[in-house]
Amino acid sequence: MTKIVVVGAGVIGLTTALELLKDPTNQVTIVAKQFPTDFEHSSVYTSPIAGANWLSFADDDDTFTQNIDKVGYKKYRELIKNAPEAGVTPRTDITYVTKEKFEAIYKGVKTLPWYCKGEFSKVVGFRELDPSEYNTSKIAYAYQINGLVVRTSYYMTYLINEMWKLSRGFETPSSRFSLRRGSVTKISDAYSLHHLGTADLVINCTGLLSRELEDIEIEEKRRIYPVRGIVFVAENTTGMKCNSFVDIFDPKYPDEKLYFMPRREGELIMGGVFQENEESKVVDPTFIVRMITRCKKYLSQYNWDDLKIVRTQVGYRPFREGGYRIERVGKVIHCYGVGAAGFQSSWGCAERVVGLVNQYKSKSKL
């Protein structure tokens, strides 16, 4: 048996632990400062704050991230079909490209992401919208895919339940799996935290807080940085049923975005911002005013009057210069730096970590 400690209970740590437990020769302990069932989350625990949907951010030539995101797309569609209790809801995902963005940034050239081109466009059900389907005075073009929305804390609790299910059939239910609340100052502290003795391997899934671990090299720490996001959670009285991303361009507020995800439970997730190295928790009160003005301008088909905002959430996307770190160094496998894509990339990242674990096991005859 191989004893593995996964440090971190965000979407990356939990998905990785679940995938590791599918191999009956692995025994997994998750150690984390915070779990999805905690009533209050700190902003540096990013996963509960996300929307979350699948709209891959990979560039056309970034097949590494594309392949990771393809795994996630297929997995979420499977969950929609076979596990309604997972908290993943199908949603048509529409992208509206504004005339300002089309002219100023795309220079009048219709620009589509990688998943709307080639073979994968059939998998995601890509379709260009007819101009009769949007406001042609403001929108240059629009397209849709068969998307989804994840109810984040609920979904992560589902992942934990799946792990308990997998640990059945062994001597005691907890013999292959355990959860421990704890904080490590060095990743190497985690070896002694396995519930059955010293761990053979440690997986580092600490997200943004990797930059605080004492045994991460200084150069590496410098590469990890936050990108602040703000999400308003409103009662969905707008009539919106599709995820909607409006590709805006406002030179006065270049880090402001406009996207929506209607959740099954009646909440509307409204985002947001993309503010590099911004760590404040303070939300500018004029931001929501600008957002509603943009809603009325670009998405006038919905009702934006008397919208009731029930919660404001601030989170920090765990970015890393150079992209995801999925790498084994000795007996530690790092998996962090997934930025704005932790949910969509989680299954593909976990698959890669399992590959590294298996390589290590066969090399060291574990």
113 contacts ligand FAD (rule: CB under 6 A): no
Q: Facing residues of 28 across strands? A: 4, 177
DSSP letter at 5 equals E
Given 53, 89, 95, 236, the residue binding ligand FAD (CB under 6 A): 53
Identify the H or E element spanning 320.
Answer: strand 309-320
Given 21, 97, 338, 353, the residue binding ligand FAD (CB under 6 A): 338
315 contacts ligand FAD (rule: CB under 6 A): yes
Shortest distance in whole angstroms from residue 125 CB to ligand FAD? 19
Query: Is 286 known to sit in a ligand binding site?
Result: no
CA distances, 214 to each of 34, 115, 184, 306 (Å): 19, 39, 9, 49
Whole-angstrom Cα distance, residue 137 to residue 239? 21
34 contacts ligand FAD (rule: CB under 6 A): yes
87 contacts ligand FAD (rule: CB under 6 A): no
47 contacts ligand FAD (rule: CB under 6 A): yes
First to last CA, the chain: 7
Whole-angstrom Cα distance, residue 89 to residue 147? 9
Number of residues in contact with ligand FAD, rule: CB under 6 A? 41
Shortest distance in whole angstroms from residue 212 CB to ligand FAD? 6
Query: Is 312 known to sit in a ligand binding site?
Result: no
Q: What is the dihedral of CA 210, 212, 216, 217, to 10 degrees?
A: 120
Whole-angstrom Cα distance, residue 202 to residue 335? 11
Decide whether 13 or 113 has the Cβ nearer to ligand FAD: 13
Give the tokens for residue 34: 């915070």
Instruction: Confirm if 351 and 17 have CB atoms less than 8 A apart.
Output: no
Q: What is the identity of the amino acid at 326? A: I
Shortest distance in whole angstroms from residue 268 CB to ligand FAD? 14
Given 5, 8, 98, 291, the residue binding ligand FAD (CB under 6 A): 8
41 contacts ligand FAD (rule: CB under 6 A): no
Instruction: Confirm if 190 and 32 have CB atoms less than 8 A apart.
Output: no
Decide whether 55 or 140 has the Cβ nearer to ligand FAD: 55
* Piece of 18-26, 232-240, 292-300, 312-320 that binds ligand FAD (CB under 6 A): 312-320
Task: Provide the pairing of β-strand 332-336 with 325-329.
Answer: antiparallel
Q: Which residues contact 236 (CB under 8 A, 6 or more apart)?
A: 262, 263, 266, 267, 268
* Piece of 25-33, 90-98, 110-118, 127-135 that binds ligand FAD (CB under 6 A): 25-33
Query: Is 178 known to sit in a ligand binding site?
Result: no
> Contacts with ligand FAD in 179-238 (CB under 6 A)?
183-184, 205-209, 229, 231
Q: Facing residues of 150 across strands? A: 88
Given 341, 353, 354, 357, the residue binding ligand FAD (CB under 6 A): 341
Binding residues for FAD are 46-47, 206
Residues that bind ligand FAD in the complex, under the rule CB under 6 A: 7-13, 31-34, 45-47, 49-53, 183-184, 205-209, 229, 231, 271-272, 315, 317-318, 336, 338-344
